[in-house]
Amino acid sequence: MLNVGVIGYGYWGPNIVRNFHRPDRSNVSMVCDKSADMLRRVAQTYPSIPTTTNVDDILTSTKIDVVAVVTPVWTHYELAKRALQNGKHVFVEKPFTSNTTQAEELIELAARKNLRIMVDHTFLFTGAVRKIRQLVEEGTLGNLYYYDSTRVNLGLFQHDVNVIWDLAPHDLSIMDHVLKGSPEAVVATGQGHLNGHEDVAFMTIYYPEKVIAHINVNWLSPVKVRTTLIGGEKRMLVWNDLDPDEKIKVYDKGVNVSSREGVYELLVSYRSGDMWAPQLEQVEALRQEMSYFVECINSGTDPFNDGRAGLRVVKMLEAASESLSKKGALVYL
């Protein structure tokens, strides 16, 4: 039974507390938020969990094994570092840190102290992403051509980061998990209309073997869209995360290109076969993710969504920021 201290009980914190507070494997032994109003909500739902406005009560407690950092991005590094220095395993929200130097330092510190870091790349534990990874690995889609995601809605505006740092980590972590090869270069464009941070942005990522990815993120959309297209040589899929029943549809569609000998024209033919919607595991992603973290801690192994996975995502975000500042210049990774 691991004892977890959770720091941050705003929008996302309650999900973390609910999923770590399970009688079978881990116990939330304290929740900290600097706002007393937020802590009143903890007392209403979990009267037995002690609360505090002082992070040191969690960071220096001898009874706590794991610290979950569920605060705004700019605070992740300092809180995670102090937790590791005090011998705690760390669960950190996405994106891992505000820059790559911080991420590298935390990875090195955890390795030196033989502690585990898990970065909350929640989507990797959904039935949909697990299925997509399986389909790609089995070769159902064939060699991949592209990954194209639209992740837009109205708000929630973050105060400390732009829409790329807020929403794109979901896609970047999925791409890191599903696409083969390391990304080579990033282009990002965007515009901020309200609070100085970009609220509408577009990111293009170049991979080896002509694989290209595009991410459209937007806090100013009148409707919520969560749709990803993944195109391969053999088949293509559409993942609509808002569809309750058939989130993934695989299309047996494609393009065949051949050239007739002696004729200088390309023969393009289109293939259009069946569509099928694979069965997906119906599990709460966070629940799976946290059980896995407890297993990793107990067995002394690093999770696949460890600090290094977090760092790979931060690298792409940092490159996107550089490209944004140069109005869409190509930035090599």
Ligand X SMILES: NC(=O)c1ccc[n+]([C@@H]2O[C@H](COP(=O)([O-])OP(=O)(O)OC[C@H]3O[C@@H](n4cnc5c(N)ncnc54)[C@H](O)[C@@H]3O)[C@@H](O)[C@H]2O)c1
User: Which residues would be at the binding site for ligand X (CB under 6 A)?
Assistant: 7-13, 32-35, 38, 55, 70-73, 75, 93-94, 120, 122
Residue 19 or 236 having the CB closest to ligand X: 19
Residue 11 or 139 having the CB closest to ligand X: 11
Mind giving me the DSSP string for 49-105? S-EES-THHHHT-TT--EEEE-S-HHHHHHHHHHHHHTT-EEEEESS--SSHHHHHH
- Taking the complex as a whole, how short is the minimal distance between the CB of residue 103 and ligand X, in angstroms? 14
Residue 187 or 318 having the CB closest to ligand X: 318
- Taking the complex as a whole, how short is the minimal distance between the CB of residue 114 and ligand X, in angstroms? 26
Q: What is the dihedral of CA 163, 164, 165, 166, to 10 degrees?
A: 40
Residue 94 or 312 having the CB closest to ligand X: 94
**Cα separation, 65 vs 30, whole angstroms:** 11
Q: What is the dihedral of CA 16, 176, 129, 288, to 10 degrees?
A: -30
Residue 91 or 202 having the CB closest to ligand X: 91
Burial of 182 (0-12, 13-18, 19+ CB in 10 A): exposed
Helices vs. strands in the chain: H and E counts, helices first: 9, 15
- Taking the complex as a whole, how short is the minimal distance between the CB of residue 24 and ligand X, in angstroms? 23
- Taking the complex as a whole, how short is the minimal distance between the CB of residue 264 and ligand X, in angstroms? 52
Residue 32 or 90 having the CB closest to ligand X: 32
Residue 13 or 307 having the CB closest to ligand X: 13
Pairing of strands 66-69, 2-7: parallel
Pairing of strands 200-206, 248-259: unpaired
Give alpha helix (H) positions in 113-244.
127-138, 163-178
Residue 9 or 207 having the CB closest to ligand X: 9
Q: Which residues contact 84 (CB under 8 A, 6 or more apart)?
A: 90, 106, 109, 110, 113, 115, 117
Mind giving me the DSSP string for 32-48? E-S-HHHHHHHHHH-TT
Element (H, E) at 292: helix 285-299
- Taking the complex as a whole, how short is the minimal distance between the CB of residue 299 and ligand X, in angstroms? 24
Q: Which residue is nearest to ligand X (CB)?
A: 10
- Taking the complex as a whole, how short is the minimal distance between the CB of residue 121 and ligand X, in angstroms? 7
Per the structure block, which two tokens stand in for 78?
Answer: 């300092």
- Taking the complex as a whole, how short is the minimal distance between the CB of residue 184 and ligand X, in angstroms? 26
Strand, coil or helix: 24: coil
- Taking the complex as a whole, how short is the minimal distance between the CB of residue 209 and ligand X, in angstroms? 30
Residue 8 or 190 having the CB closest to ligand X: 8
- Taking the complex as a whole, how short is the minimal distance between the CB of residue 292 and ligand X, in angstroms? 15
Residue type, position 121, single letter: H
